[in-house]
Amino acid sequence: MFVDRDGTINPDLRYLADAARLEVFLGVAEGIRLLRAHGYRVLCTTNQSGIERDYYTHADVGAIHHRVNEILAGGGASIDAFYYCPHAPESACECRKPATGMLEKAALDWNVDFAGSAIVGDRSLDVEAGESIGLLTVVVPPPGHEASVEAELASRNITPDVRASGFLEAALRILTRG
């Protein structure tokens, strides 16, 4: 089970470098706890081009991921592993979503069966990556950004398998496969 970070787990604060500013959306801990209780590993895959752009460091990203799990622990949940792409889009690397290198690495490390798994994200990039490797694709727009997410999907002619209004709903829909 793959999940995006910024805009999906937490508000997208554009190049977040300070772990103290991190907040987690309501329903995320409950959704992750539910997925893990049903045997899913939860692997966070996130594009973090701020590293290559010198806005923050690998250590900053590590501190943010540590803070995510601290917050989730308060709700009895955790992310099993974090994977991130440090490259800017113009680098054309194989790990930056919608490319699948990051997902493939995580799947190899955790023995993930793509056909029985899903990706939850807030952007077309997440859906594109998931579609290309056979994942159930779930879009959860950040609160207040529903129209812009739908516009982005429409402009790229991308249709997720599932649209959910929050992370907990996404988890419930994944467990019923749609």
Span 113-147, pLDDT tens digits:
999 999 999 999 999 999 999 999 999 999 899 99
Number of domains in the chain: 1
The residue with tokens 């995580």 is 106
d(CA 153, CA 43): 23
All residue ranges of the chain with pLDDT < 50 are: none
List beta partners, residue 45: 83
Please answer whether residues 83 and 108 qualify as being in contact, where contact means their C-beta atoms are separated by less than 8 angstroms.
Answer: no
Length of the chain: 178
In this prediction, residue 178 carries a pLDDT of: 59
Of the chain, the end-to-end C-alpha distance in Å amounts to 14
In this prediction, residue 177 carries a pLDDT of: 82
Span 85-101, pLDDT tens digits:
999 999 999 999 999 99
CATH of residue 43: 3.40.50.1000
In this prediction, residue 67 carries a pLDDT of: 98
In the sheet that holds 2-3, the strands lie side by side as: 81-85, 43-47, 2-3, 118-121, 136-139, 162-163
Q: Which of 4, 122, 126, 161 is catalytic?
A: 4
Residue 105's domain comprises: 2-175
Asked about 4 being catalytic, the answer comes back as: yes
Q: What angle do CA 121, 23, 69 make, to 5 degrees?
A: 80
Q: Which of 6, 60, 122, 126 is catalytic?
A: 6
Asked about 6 being catalytic, the answer comes back as: yes
Three-state secondary-structure class, residue 121: strand
d(CA 164, CA 119): 12
